[in-house]
Structures are given as C-alpha cells and as structure tokens.
Amino acid sequence: MSAFSCAIDQAGIAVLTFDLHGEKVNKLTTPAMDELDRILDELAADQKVKALVVRSGKPAVFVAGADIAEIRDITDAARGEELSRRGQEVMNKLEALPFPTVAAIHGACMGGGLELALACSRRVVSNHATTVFGLPEVKIGIIPGFGGTQRLPRLVGLTNALEMILTGKSVPAKKAKKIGLADEVTYPEMLLDVAVSMAKEAIGRPRPSGIRATRPLFIKLLESTPLTRSLIYRRARRSVAEETRGNYPAPPAALEAVQYGLAHGRSAGYQNEARTIGGLIASGVSKNLINVFFLNEALKKYGQPSSFATARTGVIGAGVMGGGIAQLFAEKGFAVRMKDITPKAVAAGFRTADEIFRKRSKKGILDTLQARDGMDRITGTTDMSGFAGVDLAVEAVVENREVKKNVLREFEQTANARAIFASNTSSLSITELATASARPGQVVGMHFFNPVEKMPLVEVVRGKQTSPETVAAVAALSRRLGKLPVVVNDGPGFLVNRILMPYLGEALRMLEEGSRIEEIDHALLNFGMPMGAFILLDEIGIDIAHKVSGILREGLGERITASPLLEKLYQNNFYGRKNGRGFYLYLHGKRGGASPLVYSFLPKRAKNEGWIPEQEIVERAVFLMIKEAVLCLEAGIIDRPDLLDAALIFGIGFPPFRGGLLRYAESLGAKYIVERLDAYAAQYGDRFAPPASLFEMSRDDFIGQIVG
C-alpha cells in the first residue's frame, strides 16, 4: 500500500503527504524511500508543478526517522554504507528539484525525518509542544547518514549543529526558529495554509543559502574562520572524550564527519559520512544500543491493559521523594493531596515540588503557565482529610516497617473501598506490609528512583496477595506518568537494589582493603557506569544504604556482607550529599574531592599498600551483580532476562553501550565468569562462589540460555 499521496492545486502547488500504512509513526523504510524516489522523479518531470509542500498524515509525528529494525539487522559494513548512500541520493534528489520545497512540520521531526526537512529549501513548523527536532543517531551508536552531518552545520552554524549531532538532544520549535532550523512558526491549525503560502511566495526566487541562525553577522563570519573552527573542534573533542570515556565511538565519529565535510566539501563529506556510518552500524556497540532502544519501546507498552481510572492521587510523606512524586503527578495532570505529620514537613514537600517545576520551566520543558497550573494541583494536609476521594496513594515515609503499616491502616480507615495503596519502599517486603491491610489485594509496591523527575524506571512490586488488577493499574499509571514500569515479584530488595547492593558492598570492601575512593570510582566510570560507587552512595544516602543493606542481609544472609566502614560512617552522621558529609566533600551543595575524613575510620596503611588493578576492581564489583542477577532469575523475582537488563539500565544507568548486565555477561561467556568468581572466592571469600546454574552453563561456555 502506498505511503505517499500527492495533490496538485490549480496554482501548481503540490502537497505530498507521508502516511505510512499500518504504523503509528512515519518511518523511512526501504520501500518508503523507493516510493519517495519515484515520486520525486515524477514531480521533477511534471511541468505543472511550481512548488512542493511535504507534510505528514500522522497526528503527532512528522517523521520519526529511519527504520531502526532494518538497521538492527545489518551486520555488514558495506550494506550499512549502501543504505546510507541510498538515503543520500533520495535527499539530494529532493534538494535538487527545480522548484521551491517547503517542509510543513507538526510533531516529532527526528533523524532521517529531519534530514528530509533539511533537504527542503524552507521549513514551517507548528508551535505545538510535540513539535521537536533532533538527530538522535548517536544514541543508537551511529551518526546521521542521509546527509545530516553536512547540511545541518551549513544551515544553523557549526556550534549549534554539533550540539544537536553530538548529544542527540532535541530542540523545540521556538529554539529551532532561533537557530535558523525553522523559517516560520505557526499554529497547528494554520500549518498547511502557511506552508502553501510560503511555497507560492518562493516561486521564482533562489533557494536561501548560508547560516540562518539569528546571530550578529560578525559571529557568523568568525565561526567560519579556520582558527575559530579549530577551537570549536578542540573543545567539542574534549567534551566528547569526557562524556564517552572512549566507550561510545559514534560521537567522535560524528564530529570527524562534520569536520571532514566542511574541510573537503559536500560531495566528499557525503562519501565519508556513508563510509563512517557503515562501520558503526555493523559494530557491537551499535547493536547493544539498538537493543536498549527496543527495550525502551517494549517497556512503554509493558503490562496488561487496565480499566482502573486514576484521577485523584495522594502522597503520604512530603520528604524529597514525596515532594518529587507529588510534582510528577501534578505535572501529568493529576490532582494531588500531600500529607505529612507537621505543617513544616508539608511546606518542605511544596518547596521540593516548586523547585522541580521551576527547573523544568527554566529548561524549557514546561512553560510558566504549565508550571503554575501544576503547583495549583497540589494541596497539603497534616491529617487524612481529602484522602476519601483519592484513587491511589503513594506512601513515601521513613523506611520503617511499623511506621508504614500504621500509615496503611490510617489510609484504609479514610479511603474509599477501591483505592490502591502503593508503597515507595526500596526494600521492605510488600507481602509483609499487606498483613496490616484489610484489602491486601490493593497493596502494591511502586518504587520510584531518585531523582523522581529524571529517573525513568518504576519497579511495580507484586506482593503474594496483590491482585493482577492492581498490578495492571499501577503499571498503566506509571506509563501515563511517562515512566517505564517493570513488574517484579516481592523479595528482599526487589530487583534493582538487590543486584546493586553487592556491587556497592564490594566497593566498600575494596576501600577497606586499602584502595582509594577515587581509584575505585575512576575504574567504574571507565567501565561505563554513570557515576562511581561512592558518588552513588552519597546520592542514595549513606543512611539509606545502611538501612537497605541490613534488610537485605536479614533476607539473603551473609552473601550481603556487612561493611564496618558503612556502619562507622552511619553512626557518625555521615549521610552523603543530603547533609554534606559523605565519601566526597560538599560546599554549597557542590561536590568536591574525596573526603579525607572517611580514611580516619579505616586502618592506616602504607602508600599503595592496598592498590588494586582496575580490571579487578571492575570484575569484583560487576561480577557480583551478574551472580545476583542469576539468583534473581532463579528465585523468580523477574521472569524475563531482557526486562532485568532494562531495569538496571533505566534504574541505575548500567552502561547502555554494553547492552545490559546479562548481555554483557553473554559477551564474556559463562566459563570466564565462573573462573574469575572461583579465583576471587579463593582469595576473598564465599560471597564470590558462583551459583550452581552459572557453573552448569560454564561447561558449555554458554550463558545465552539466560539472556534468551
């Protein structure tokens, strides 16, 4: 079935509508590109056509980009290069049409979709919040391959182009106009009329050329000089190296592609772009990142459909987490009733929510009116007044079993019979909490990760008596909140914290053995973790880590080893960033170097006495995660290995370029992992002893039966 339809009016304005059949979004699949190629030939030969408007038939997307499923299946660099060259040919043909071309853009204009828009001579865009522009290819381990590395810098300037290409970040319509990416911004209802009018006015006029960003002329001229460009490239190269630590080849490759094209001309730039993307498409890093992309897409649809209607929500506990959860509910349009035991505590929750709204408004994620409306949806109380009408309440009180049970009892005395009680506990048993409930089927875990507004994962924890309807309702609500839900069964630490704590515990053990805070964190950062173990402990809160490790040790035994250092720090009021006393120094909330005070709680050692090689640091910490992940699968905490990988990527930032914890384990092979665990067990103790199932896999050097 045709993906394109074309209508030509009496004035000779052709309107080409892209509406890919059977898909929610437009994708530049190979058949769609072939059809577009043919249509462009027909339009070029049609003497009646005086101008062309390209638009989308989808309600909220212009073009989402190339078909990532096609890219995933390419294993040969030559085939990847061929795909790029084919796309470049079609875009060049669009650019070379003998009449004006206008892209009428409403909704997401991403990747190949933006490259299509760049090939048009003009762009008019809607001012709707869904209209955003981006070249996110680096996020799947490749670079723009349909000419984007060549056209974008020549349109918006080198600095603006590199910011988009190297980070993969999108820009809204207002900024697109400012940097010259959009020629005009209008209302969605007027988009087609304005585009047609723009096309008519452009007939007979030359195609606009040069950088169109709204900047002083001398700035534009300065950016085009070899010296300035050299400085821009040097700064960008340094920034990329700091961000990627050599683990992500696409950003430096994209930078080189832009630089090469500006130095050698468009034709050479296109050829180099195609060669570069061919090698990247076939790489293991790209395959892993594409796997993460599809995990993300799967989680957006994860869970059973739910008929449970949630309109009014409650948050019990107005601390940092409670205030963050209230802000999230309010931003997504829910009325929120927030409770704590004192007016001062409730006020603190309001401040937390307001600060988040202000930050998001400042970043352009929300406008001022949206932020104000969001705050207006939150009301506060020190009793249960207003909770009779809530459909779901999230408790975020202190991590104490009896306190949470009392909160549950108090809630059920006030709430309506259908209301769901969701606990934000990070480690306490949902099954145990539900023993305090008269309606245990409506008690569930809804574990957000901190900071709530940034972390995408929500663990939906199913207790032994939690009903399927409750699980489905909370998973559906999580999706409405823009989060990625993963349903896990109840157990000590659930999934993410259970796997995380041995990793953090081993970092503590290595510090106790004489290694240095910076050495351990540096090794883990080089491995690809988003932050070192001790920075993470400071962010989580040393007090929280102390509490969670005790709960896990109670449930899992000495496999979760006690840390004398963690105990001493906790007893001496070292709680991390929250009180400025942690593994690192803090001044006015900003992190400095490692705190020398931490070493005062450790035995004095000679210099380099406890030095540990970087490979050993990584293996000891990460292989314990692999071991615990295998045990979680054996215990039925989660039933799908791919979802386990997703939970760790989106919950704690396990390196996406490695594809997930179990996918990384598969790349090493079970035999190697077991050999190393055995060696570490002999040297450091039974916590490294490999589980029987992993030992069995090692006989065939095969872990794929876990990964699937």
What residues act catalytically?
447
Rounded to whole angstroms, the Cα distance separating 243 from 198 reads: 41
378 CB-contact burial (10 Å; exposed 0-12 / middle 13-18 / buried 19+): buried
- Alpha carbons 260 and 273: distance in angstroms, whole number: 9
Residue 236 CA to residue 458 CA, distance in Å, equals 34
The number of CA neighbours under 13 Å toward the Cβ of 168 is 15
DSSP string, 573-593: T--BGGGTBSSEEEETTEEEE
- 223 phi and psi, to 5 degrees? -65, -20
Determine the Cα–Cα distance for residues 207 and 51; give it in Å rounded to an integer. Answer: 12
Q: What's the CA angle centered on 597, arms 560 and 537, to 5 degrees?
A: 35
Rounded distance, CA 244 to CA 249, Å? 8
SS3 label, residue 346 = helix
* Cβ–Cβ under 8 Å, residues 428 and 461: no
**How would you list the strands of the sheet with 61-63, edge to edge?**
61-63, 108-110, 132-134, 171-172
User: Measuring CA to CA, which residue among 497, 489, 449 is closest to residue 625?
Assistant: 497
Tell me the CB-side half-sphere exposure of residue 316, using CA atoms within 13 A.
30
Bridge partners of 314?
Answer: 337, 393
* Identity at 443, one-letter amino acid code: V
Look at strands 443-448 and 457-462 and give their pairing.
antiparallel
Cβ atoms of 454 and 482 within 8 Å: the answer is no
Cis peptide before 451 (omega within 30 of 0): yes
Q: Which of 466, 414, 416 is nearest to 445 (CA)?
A: 466
Contact by Cβ (8 Å): 382, 318: no
**Angle in degrees, CA 534, 556, 583, rounded to 5:** 10
Distance CA 408, CA 380 (A): 18
Bridge partners (DSSP) listed for residue 185: 125
Amino acid identity at 348: A
Q: What ranges in 301-400 are assigned the alpha helix state H?
A: 320-331, 343-362, 368-376
